[in-house]
Amino acid sequence: MERSRREILKLFGITALALNTPPVLNAFAAEQEAGHGVEGEPFVKQGGDALKAKQWAMVINTKKFEAAEDVRPLMEACHSIHNVPDMPIKRHELKWIWSAPYHNAFPMSPSKFIVEKLEHAPVIVLCNHCENPPCVRACPTQATFKRPSDGIVLMDFHRCIGCRFCMAACPYGMRSFNWRDPRPFIDKTTYNKEFPTRMRGVVEKCNFCVERLAKGLQPACVETCGNTGAMTFGDLNDPHSEIRKVLDENFTIQRKPALGTLPSLFYII
Ligand code: SF4
Ligand code: SF4
């Protein structure tokens, strides 16, 4: 699982050459400019055929992650390609994917007594892309919305007015707020000109790598795991998909299932 920053950047094609090319308004940025994604229409393709699904979902095998260091390559991959900077002050922190202690990730766990290994294992958390997302209902401007074509919960950064109602509504705390302009803190060596940067007063979160799906690529975090079986991504509605196979063969749990948000993230514990 250990991968250097250089290897990660190489993996995602963020080379010095790419960094020197003129800005390219990629498919995701174009979609952001145009507003919401159009049902049934994938983003503009770049490279391979866009991956499509009725409902994208992810299975995380917590058994594959023993220490926080195991999660770090995933965080670096995600944050590098999405221009999520390390902010110097903790309360300004921005993050799309990170690890949490088991009891934080699953506070509604029926028993406080769990096997010790699990108790101290890092649980990867990111937006659950809920099928019934309360954040979407709370947003007064429809800046956050569930894409009808594949169930991904997205942000339209241009529409966000920074009221943070979506943050208050998310029962998982999976959204970050830009308390200050994040751009000066983006690492120049990893800056991805193909992904839009945000500004002060805007909310952000994991987007299930829509811009990569549009190019026929798996989410960056999933790709970073390789074929270890640590993460599986696929169409929940396709009975023949790999993710359905994994779900059929393993006992999985979701975060705070009693809330009825219907998370699209499943955890093998
Ligand atoms: S995890 Fe939170 S931010 Fe993500 S879709 Fe669910 S309610 Fe919204
Ligand atoms: S799916 Fe993409 S945006 Fe979401 S956590 Fe993984 S790498 Fe980050």
**DSSP 8-state assignment for residue 150:** T
Q: Decide which of 48 and 126 is more confident.
A: 126
Phi, psi angle pair for 100, to nearest 5°? -130, 155
What is the spatial distance between Cα 225 and Cα 222, in angstroms, rounded to a whole number?
5
97 lines ligand 2 (CB under 6 A): yes
133 lines ligand 1 (CB under 6 A): yes
Mean pLDDT for the chain overall: 86
Residue nearest to atom 2 of ligand 1 (CA): 170
What is the spatial distance between Cα 104 and Cα 117, in angstroms, rounded to a whole number?
15
What is the spatial distance between Cα 65 and Cα 21, in angstroms, rounded to a whole number?
37
pLDDT digit string (tens) for 159-178? 999 999 999 999 999 999 99
> Which of 58, 60, 98, 127 should be mutated for ligand 1, with most atoms under 8 A from CB?
127
What is the spatial distance between Cα 269 and Cα 260, in angstroms, rounded to a whole number?
21
* Number of the ligand closest to the Cα of 221: 2
220 lines ligand 2 (CB under 6 A): yes
What is the spatial distance between Cα 106 and Cα 102, in angstroms, rounded to a whole number?
6
208 lines ligand 2 (CB under 6 A): yes
23 pLDDT tier (thresholds 50, 70, 90):
very low
21 pLDDT tier (thresholds 50, 70, 90):
very low
Which tokens is 169 given? 């509504």
Q: For residue 97, give the ligand 2 atom closest to its CA.
A: 5
Q: Cβ–Cβ contacts within 10 Å for residue 148, how many?
A: 12
Write out the H or E segment, with its range, that includes residue 47: none
The pLDDT of residue 108 = 79
Give the alpha-carbon dihedral of 82, 267, 58, 162, to 10 degrees: -40
Number of DSSP helices (H) and strands (E) in the chain, helices first: 11, 10
233 lines ligand 1 (CB under 6 A): no
What is the spatial distance between Cα 127 and Cα 133, in angstroms, rounded to a whole number?
10
pTM of the full structure: 0.84
CB contact burial 156-195 (16+ within 10 A = b; e otherwise)? bbebbeeeebbbebbbbebbbbbeeebeeebeeebbbbbb
Compute the distance from residue 60 Cα to the ligand 1 centre, in Å.
17
Residue nearest to atom 8 of ligand 2 (CA): 78
> Which of 152, 170, 210, 267 should be mutated for ligand 1, with most atoms under 8 A from CB?
170
Cα Rg of the chain, angstroms: 18
The pLDDT of residue 40 = 32
What is the spatial distance between Cα 155 and Cα 145, in angstroms, rounded to a whole number?
7
pLDDT digit string (tens) for 219-246? 999 999 999 999 999 999 999 999 999 9
> Which of 137, 144, 153 should be mutated for ligand 1, with most atoms under 8 A from CB?
153
221 lines ligand 2 (CB under 6 A): yes
pLDDT digit string (tens) for 42-66? 333 345 899 999 999 999 999 999 9
